[in-house]
Every structure is written in C-alpha cells, then in structure tokens.
Structure 1
Amino acid sequence: MSPVIIVAVLLLLVVLAVLFIPWSTNSATDRDTLNQRFYRSRLDELAREGHGPDDALVVELQRTLLDDIPRGEKRALAQAAAPAMSRWVLLPGALVVVLVSGGLYWHSANVEQLLQWQHARAQYPQLLKQVMDPQAAPLREDQLASLALGLRSRLQDDRQNIAQWRLLGRIGVTLNDNAIILGAFSQAWQLAPKDSQVTVDYAGALVRSGEQGNIRKGELLLRDVLAQDANNVQALDLLAFSDYLQQRYDQAAQHWKQALALTPADDPQHAIIAGNLRQATLRSQQ
C-alpha cells in the first residue's frame, strides 16, 4: 500500500476518534455533587451538636444547598445522556466524511494511474531487456506504453542519460505520441546540442509536429547540421520532407536528389528516397 494512502487512512481514523471517543467522563464531580456531600456532612455535624430538623441553622442549610440538588440531578442526567445521543447524530456525518474523503482522494490522486505507474516500474527491466534484444519478439503497443512510462520514471532519477532520452523518443515515434517525441528529443538535445545525431532527432520531431513555429526551428537546426556535414543523408531527407509538406516541391526534389546520390543502392532507404524524389518531381511539374 502506498505511504500516501496509509497516511490518509490514519488521518481519517484520527478525525473519527475525535468525533466518537467520549473524552469526558461521568465520574467527574460537579458543583451539585459537592453541594449534596457538603449538605449531608453539615447536617450530620448539626445533629451531633443537638440541632433539630426545625432549627434555624438546618432550615438555612436546606435553603442554600438542598434546594439546588434536584435541579443538579436533572442536569447531571441530561449531561450523562447527551454524549451518547451526539455520537448517534454524528454517525451519518461521519459516513459522509468517509465517502467524500475517499472520493476526493480517488479523484485527485488518480489511483488508477498510480497503480499503472507502479506496474510499469516493476515491468521496466524485463521490457527494456526485450526491446534491446534483436532476437526477442517485438513488444505489443501496450507493452511499449508501459515501457515508456517506466523509462520516464527512471529518467526522473537519471536526467543526464542521453541514450535513454533518445530511446524514449523512438518509443514515442512508434506509439505516434507527439508529446513523448518532442519532450524526449528536446531533453536529449539540451544535454548534447553539438551532437549532430541528437540534433537531427530533435529537428525531425519539430518538423513532424505540424506547428509552423516548430517547423521553422527544425529546418534551421537541419541547415546547421548540413553546414557542418553536407553529406548527412538523414538531415537532407528530413529537410526534403519538410519542403514537400510546405509545397516547396523544387527544393524537396533537390534535397532528395542529393540524399539519393549519397545512399548505397543496396540500402533499403535508397528505394524510399527514390520514390519520394519521383513524387516531388511530378508535383513540381504540375
């Protein structure tokens, strides 16, 4: 059980204890009890001194003390009965407190997501081992989502791990989750802005985001990479892709032509780039 849940339950028990435990006791001596004891003691003293029931001292004692005893007894009975009645009256309120507290905790703490997070942390080592093993079976989509959640949790404790940020970004690409893609590749780029491969990853995420501000930033980063390495095929391919999306078909064809010349004929990417080049060329001629 989560420590947060334990603390919440303990606090709720304390509140219920304050409401229902009878902190006052019936053995406490009140003013009426003292009056009664004092009256009887004084009456015994007067009897020993020879004062009869009609004596002035006895009559005065009755007037000042004894007359107050019946009201005191009634009041004591009312006070003794009040706590039990109050506790029964408070029972519906206590049930409401329990239900509302549980509902608010379930809603605000999002217990279902908490349980998913704990499950992802437990499954993370095995899923990571499986995804890194080329001989292992590919992960299902739900397993990839669990791996991404576990990886994000681990990165909270190891935020300088560039390789794991890039892995999280690639998982995001597979899941088609733009939030994961941009967040992960952005973190990796902030840690290694001079690394061309990391920059290309981040630029690709920006270009594919569909937002004009991100696209412009991604294109600038790709041009910076090409200024340092004109033969970077991945940067040329991404820049051509961005040109194509922006309907700059001539520029897209030019960049894909450069990328095709740098890609070996036996590389599977060669056929894809060639197809993209043909499509851009046709669009530029229309």
Structure 2
Amino acid sequence: MNGTFLLLAMGLCLVALGFMVIPLLCAPRCEENPSRRATNLAVHRDRVRELEQDMTAGLLTGAQHDNALADLERELLDSGAVGSDERQVAQGRGSARVPLVAAWVSISLLPFMAIGLYLTVGHAEEVFGTQLPAGPPASVSEAEPPSEAALQREFQHLAQQLQGRLAQDPTHLGSWVLLGRTLVFLDDLPAAERAFREAMRHGGDRDPGLLTRYADVLAERQGGLAGEPQRLIERALTLDPDHVQALWLAGTLALQQNSPDEARNHWQRLLVLLPPESPEAEVIRGNLGQLDQADGSPLDGVPARSET
C-alpha cells in the first residue's frame, strides 16, 4: 500500500512537471530581427555608390559629392540605429534564457515543495509508517483482565483516598456513597454500613437507590429484611413506586413475612418494568411460578416461566 502510493505520487508529480516545463522549453525564442545596422550600412553604401556614379557622369562636382557624402555619414551616425539595435539583440538573448531558467527552477523545486506541503497538511504518518501484517499483531497481546488480588489492592487504595477526602470534607454525599460501595466490594460490611449511614445523614435518605442499597447491606449483616431495612424499603417505594430494586426487596420481604399475595403484587409490578428477555425477568417469573404452585391459583396477567 505504501509503495503503491509513493509510485502514484511520483507519477503525478512528473505529469505536473511536464505541464509546466514543456511549454517553457517549447516557447518560441526571441528571434533576432535583421540587424538595423547592417540595413543602414547597405543603404548607405548604395547611396554612396549612386553619388560616385553621378560624379563620374558629371552630374555632380567634387565639392557637391563631398558635401553629399558628409550628409550621408551624418545621417548614419545621427540615426542611433546602431546602439539601439545592439541593446535589442542583448535583450533578445536575455529573454531567450528566461524560459530555460524557469524550467530548471521548476524541475529542481517543485518536487520538494510538493513533499513539504504533504508533510505539513497530509497524513504522512499513515503512508511512511510501517505497515503491520494482516491478522492479529504478533507483539501486541490482548489485555488480560486484572486478577482478584489486583482489584482488591486497587479498591483498597480507592477507599484510602476517599477516607482522606472525607476527612477534609465530611459532608460530601458522593464520597460517602462511593466509599460504601467500595467497602461492600471489599466485603467490609460493618465499615460499609457506617459509610451508608453517614450518607443518609447528608441527604442520601432522598435517594431511593441509595436507600435500597443501604437496606441490602443491613439485611445481609442481620440476616433478614425486617426492622430498619424494611423501613428503608418502604421509604424508597414512597419516593419511587416503580423502583426496581425496592420492588424486588419488597417482594422478598413479603415472602419472608409469609405474605405471598403482597409478594406477588410487588413482583408482578416489577415484571412489567423489567426487559422481557433479561435474566432478572426470568428470575421473577420463576418466583411467581413458585407462588402459583404454592397456593394452586393461576396468576392473572403474569406469563409462565419462559421456555428457552
């Protein structure tokens, strides 16, 4: 690809040079007109010859011949044809050299000017760069996913940074939320609970997503959704009745409290919100199917477990 481009570029450059140089070389050179000096001298000799013939024939006296000859010589000198003609010949020779000089200048400079212009505004790095062979690069391997230990170190470092930031600004809600999520990943649930509790104090209690996340952490710590997690879930549904995670936890809580009808209501509402082909929808359809088998009643408006 690179070689083809370079050959094509050189060919186009030669064509451009041809369009410029050939007319210059073939331009008609300044032809030197017949010398005015030679013409004047020829006329002068003819007139002198005529004077001599007239004097021989007796038409002119010697004095008249001398006077007429002096007048002819004066006319030849006063005409200025000799000096003017020499200047025109010199100018003609100089003009004849102009096309040749222009042609050589074009041949010498045009290729370099074209290359400089391309390097300035073109994509030379794509042309002159080394072309990699087709297929996957031999020296560049696919990036391997980080190991679990590397992720642990990265999240521990992030947690330390967040703690340092919160030491300077303990009212920053986003930092408390991010710290809580980071600690959940690090499986430090007591510290995550404290971070989410601080987030609640600084405005997080108005976010249904944060309320349900905090409820989930508390439920995992105490082994169930009763108590404070239940209050958090109810508040999240008050703020957003269609919050997916809150409906999921509310159905689970109702099932734990032996309220299958309430669980069915929450999960039926949730099933409408989930994408039909999503794994979450499949799980909810399975839960509803188990409820149907438990009480032996059909589920109105709820599709059965999808066959895949």
Q: Which has the larger radius of gyration?
A: 2
Normalised-by-shorter TM-score class: 0.3 to 0.5
Task: Provide the TM-score with structure 2 as the length reference.
Answer: 0.41
Higher helix proportion (structure 1 or 2): 1
Higher relative contact order by CA 8 Å / sep ≥ 6: 1 or 2?
2
Task: Provide the TM-score with structure 1 as the length reference.
Answer: 0.44
